[in-house]
Amino acid sequence: MTKEELKSKVCQAIADRRSDIMQLRNAIYQEPELGFKETKTAAKVAALFRSLGIAHETGLAVTGVKGRLKGRQSKQTVAVLGEMDAVICAGHPDADPLTGAAHCCGHDAQIAAMAAVAMGLIDSGAMEQLAGDVVFFAVPAEEYVEITYRDKLRKAGSIKYLGGKAELIRLGAFDDIDMALQIHLATKPEGDSFVRLGSTSNGFIGKLVHYQGRAAHAAMAPEEGINALNAAMLGIMGVHAQRETFREQDYVRFHPIITQGGDLVNVVPDDVRMESYVRAANVSALLTSNTKINRALQAGADAVGAEVKIQDLPGYLPLCNNSALNAVFRENAALLYGAEQVNVGPHEAGSTDTGDLSHIMPTIHPWIGCVHGALHSADYCVADVEAGYIKTAQAMALTVIDLLYGEGETAQDIIAADKPLLTKAEYLKFLDSFSSDA
């Protein structure tokens, strides 16, 4: 079979599986779970792998599920990743009524597309034609949320890093993978769906802040107390006074939430806690802005005589796409979405742990613009099902074929030309350098 024949067969196989793909998507979408808690989602992925006869491991970094299809030979391994976790968006019509979790970041589409690639490669008999293996990896905890909860997991020893891919890299789950494909859905204000390639994104440092004051009667003896909420407020204001020093090209972001702001209205708040990230487009801006922000947070405590404990945690690295791998994906996406709909994306101030992976192996992270409403918000909904779930899978499957067809020369060339920004050992050492334990 020629490569072109194989590619059209795989596309058709994925199209023929449309109802299975949407059924899986609906099952994932209807039971959204937060990171490191994706037990039902993981069970659905494992059940799918069993039904497709894909050998797999479960429980990687708490909930990860990793399946592998063998090629005619096993020269290189390409991974198709799908993130399993949801975000909290209690106002979303499809949010879980108990937890408030909802798939407002489209990770349900990632799992569906990953599954669709597997179905397409199996149904078409493509693996016989490929010189390498394909890993289908359902990964946990891309959203870096519930920092306090995850820090407890960390202290209990169930994880070391608070994001899924960092944890999987540490555990060696990417050691037998040579390159990775990861998509995300994006908002499309109007017009046709689109594909954005090559967008970079911010990295960040995670942060837990604990202001300790002294309780007292809020009206009869406030002079006896030390108001930790005022300390926190001044700390945040202090960061605002730093903002003019943040350079535009560094895309610095600090967006704290107060997770505990006091217990009773008639008691001076003595225990106030915040979670935040410090984000920036590059590591040096990350480090300098983090120093300024910590200094301002400390100043808030000093102003009212409170104590503050600032705990920095390893976050994510900025994203850098592999351009040769992007070029392969681009050609296939152009066939499916139309060449004029495939563009180079700008820098995104958000962050993803795919950034971490992109530092150690060739990785791409295309954005598929097919959503109405904003990501992580109550009006999020997939406006173009075909673009989000089917074409995405076809574009990834065709890319896998380009990479591994024949003797897998394309994959070999990309690996040979790639100069990873960090080795795994350097990467882990880098993460550990951010850790200030409390």
Interface residues with Zn ion (CB under 5 A) are 105
- Say which amino acid occupies 256: P
317: which 2 tokens? 């690295």
Rounded least distance, CB 109 to Zn ion, Å: 10
Min dist. Cβ of residue 143 to Zn ion (A): 6
Nearest to 292, CA basis, from 251, 230, 241, 349: 241
Least distance between Zn ion and beta carbon 147 (Å): 16
Q: How far is the CB of 229 from Zn ion (least distance, A)?
A: 32
Angle between helices 107-123 and 39-52 (to 10 degrees): 10
Instruction: Please give the sequence-ordered ranges of beta strands (E in DSSP) within 281-430, or none if there are none.
Output: 307-316, 342-344, 363-364, 367-372, 381-382
Q: Which is nearer to Zn ion, 20 or 94 (CB)?
A: 94
Smallest gap, in angstroms, from Cβ of residue 144 to Zn ion?
10
Q: What is the closest distance, in whole angstroms, from the C-beta atom of residue 405 to Zn ion in the complex? A: 31
Q: Which is nearer to Zn ion, 109 or 115 (CB)?
A: 109
What span, in angstroms and rounded, lies between the C-alpha atoms of 226 and 217? 11
Which is nearer to Zn ion, 11 or 105 (by Cβ)? 105
Residues 6+ apart with CB under 8 A from 175: 424
Contact predicate 392/183, CB 8 Å: yes
- Cα-trace Rg, the chain: 23
CB of 102 to Zn ion, least distance (A): 12
Nearer to Zn ion, 133 or 143 (CB): 143
Cβ pair 60, 109 in contact under 8 A: no
Cα 390 to Cα 13, 32, 82, 328, 334: the distances in Å are 11, 21, 14, 18, 14
Instruction: Tell me which DSSP letter residue 342 carries.
Output: E
The crossing angle, in degrees rounded to 10, of helices 323-337 and 392-404 is: 130
Rounded to whole angstroms, what are the CA distances from 341 to 218, 232, 345, 370? 60, 46, 12, 12
Q: What is the DSSP string of 51-103?
A: HHT-EEEEEETTTEEEEEE--SS-S-EEEEEEE---EE-TTSTTS-TTT-EE-
- Is 181 in contact with 329 (CB distance < 8 Å)? yes
User: CB-wise, 33 or 178, nearer to Zn ion?
Assistant: 33
Q: Which is nearer to Zn ion, 110 or 193 (CB)?
A: 110
> Nearer Cβ to Zn ion, position 106 or 262?
106
Distance of CA 13 to the CA centre of its chain: 29
Nearer Cβ to Zn ion (10/101): 101
Min CB(296)–Zn ion separation in Å:
29
The residue sitting closest to Zn ion, measured at its beta carbon, is: 105
Least distance (Å) between residue 259 CB and Zn ion: 21
Closer residue to Zn ion (CB): 105 or 252: 105
Q: Which is nearer to Zn ion, 339 or 374 (CB)?
A: 374
Furthest C-alpha separation in the chain = 86
CB of 384 to Zn ion, least distance (A): 18
Q: What angle do CA 362, 365, 366 make, to 5 degrees?
A: 130
